[in-house]
Chain A
Amino acid sequence: GQQLNQSPQSMFIQEGEDVSMNCTSSSIFNTWLWYKQDPGEGPVLLIALYKAGELTSNGRLTAQFGITRKDSFLNISASIPSDVGIYFCAGQKGNDMRFGAGTRLTVKP
């Protein structure tokens, strides 16, 4: 299926900085999800969002389900070296699940 539009493709930041990434689609989704993938591993679910406008936190991570249901945002506050990895968004409606191309995050100590 068509990929979601995820940006930025990559980010290089200093430890302690905040990070923002987003995902957009031309289609409406009922669920938005954010995954993190470490090198050599599979994606791990970070946050799931089920309702338009929903704002959910998981530690230093905060994600929002866009009001239009066509986008979602992920913020990471006070980044640390272990935040390094690839972050994927995913949108789901019925039996249709699509993934973004990922945002590769590098954190410099």
Chain B
Amino acid sequence: DAGVIQSPRHEVTEMGQEVTLRCKPISGHDYLFWYRQTMMRGLELLIYFNNNVPIDDSGMPEDRFSAKMPNASFSTLKIQPSEPRDSAVYFCASSSAFNIQYFGAGTRLSVL
């Protein structure tokens, strides 16, 4: 199994630009999670899906962030417009049981 696949691994963009992060979960997993990791705040859950349906988006910082899961094998996290304070590592994770989550390698986002 290839594990959770995230792309791109690194993204550098300028303030105001739209950023789209992508995730392919492990086949057969019903849950998909998006996390943000920073030195100051650690690992934060942004949103999670169950069977492609968003269940809890209370961790999404603000309306500039949106996430979609059009099918069981693909999800996106979009930031529009991006700001320097969005710079962080964004992780996608998937699981068949809510608590046993498998993480991707992450996307390191730098907003200049």
A-side interface residues toward B, CB under 8 Å? 1, 3, 31, 33, 35, 40-45, 48, 88, 92, 95, 97, 99-102
8 Å CB contact of B103 from A3, A43, A100? A43
- Output the least CB separation between A10 and chain B (Å): 13
The answer on a CB contact under 8 Å between B103 and A92 is no
Interface of A is mostly: strand
Q: Does B112 make an interface contact (CB < 8 A)? A: no
The answer on a CB contact under 8 Å between A42 and B56 is no
The answer on a CB contact under 8 Å between A45 and B100 is yes
Considering the chains assembled together, what is the distance between the CA atoms of A95 and B106 in angstroms? Answer: 23
Most buried by A among B56, B99, B101: B99
Considering the chains assembled together, what is the distance between the CA atoms of A88 and B44 in angstroms? Answer: 12
The answer on a CB contact under 8 Å between A95 and B102 is no
